[in-house]
Amino acid sequence: MTNFSSFADPEDAPSVAEAKKEILETEYSYTERDIILYNLGVGATANELKWTYEVVSQTKIYEPNRDDEFAAIPTFGVIPQFSASSALPFDWLPNFNPAKLLHGEQFLSIKGPIPTSGDLVSSARVLEALDKGKAAAVTTIVETRDKHSGQLVFENQSTVYIRGSGGFGGRRTGTDRGPATAPNDPPQRAPDAISEERTHSSQAALYRLSGDMNPLHILPEFAAIGGFDKPILHGLCSMGIAGKHVLQAFGPFEDIKVRFAGVVYPGETLVTEMWKEGSKVIFLSKVKERDTIILASAGASLIEKCYKAKL
């Protein structure tokens, strides 16, 4: 288990040091239906039975490395932790206004086979808080474990930016956290693989059923308050689509990190450009219609063994 006391930093302001002491736990129980719902939410189709038909692996002897074994798309790992990471309080920040909070980056580490059903417990805590002057950048870490065995299944690190909440003092630049903070600059050559996928107009309405019920993604009047022409696609949905592209092009990965650089409107086309650099895939995603980058500083660490859990 992570030693949360190691997150203490002598450069932290008193308010940050106190915030790091709080641990928030939530539970998440799910079945094959939730896996299918997530897979559909990030663009799986009815023809891809390994992602949309739970009986596939019941019709044959289980083989861990089968490509047609029913499984979660790996980025499902952002779902069980969501209620924990989103519930951590930020009222210790000066002038905190939730309307000024932006999801900046996400890192997911997959620690082993992803069960296709189960009971999980997520523990969330503040990992790092940076004073950017006119804004704050806060990174939370969430460990998700099997409720019964205690086995670590996922680790998530989420960075949010809160405009108007700077000035609390303390650290101004972040620490190196390996793959979670890697710059992932694309090489100066043509991509090794490119995937293109058109989202559908109801994609945000479908994806929100996996847990992120923010009205920004469904209510036009709420989106307008945020300055958008219409409801936008969830950033984590775009991450899931890009992760699916990496999986299809290069195989399974053990971690994935993205920076959210722009928004997607449901119905637009996502283009993921990928470069294989040793055991890592560096990628970026664009909206084809507007030629706008929406996922940057993105990378995934490949694994040789494909982790898939038996039903």
pLDDT of residue 226: 83
Q: What does the pLDDT look like over 116-162, one tens digit per residue?
A: 999 999 999 999 999 999 999 999 999 999 999 999 999 999 999 99
212 is annotated as an active-site residue: yes
Rounded-to-10 torsion of CA 9, 14, 20, 21 = 120
**Packed helices 32-41 and 235-250: angle between N→C axes, nearest 10 degrees:** 90
Predicted confidence at residue 66, as pLDDT, reads 56
The span from the CA of 86 to the CA of 220, in Å, is 22
- For residue 301, which of 142, 213, 154, 184 has the smallest C-alpha distance? 184
Structural contact between residues 117 and 28, judged by C-beta atoms closer than 8 angstroms: no
pLDDT of 26 above 60: yes
pTM above 0.75, yes or no: yes
- Active-site residue, selected from the candidate residues 217, 241, 245, 255: 217
Closest by CA position to 270, among listed 300, 298, 252, 290: 290
* pLDDT over 50 (residue 311): no
* Options 43, 170, 211, 235, the catalytic residue: 235
Task: Tell me the mean pLDDT in the region 180-189.
Answer: 98
User: What are the DSSP E strand ranges found in the chain?
Assistant: 24-30, 101-110, 118-131, 135-146, 152-163, 193-198, 253-260, 269-277, 280-287, 292-302
- The answer to whether 154 and 162 have CB atoms below 8 angstroms apart is no
Catalytic annotation present for 9: no
Domains contained in the chain, CATH given: 1-30+72-173 (3.10.129.10), 182-311 (3.10.129.10)
Would you call 77 a catalytic residue per the annotation? Answer: no
Q: What is the DSSP letter of 148?
A: T
Catalytic residue among 212, 241, 256, 294: 212
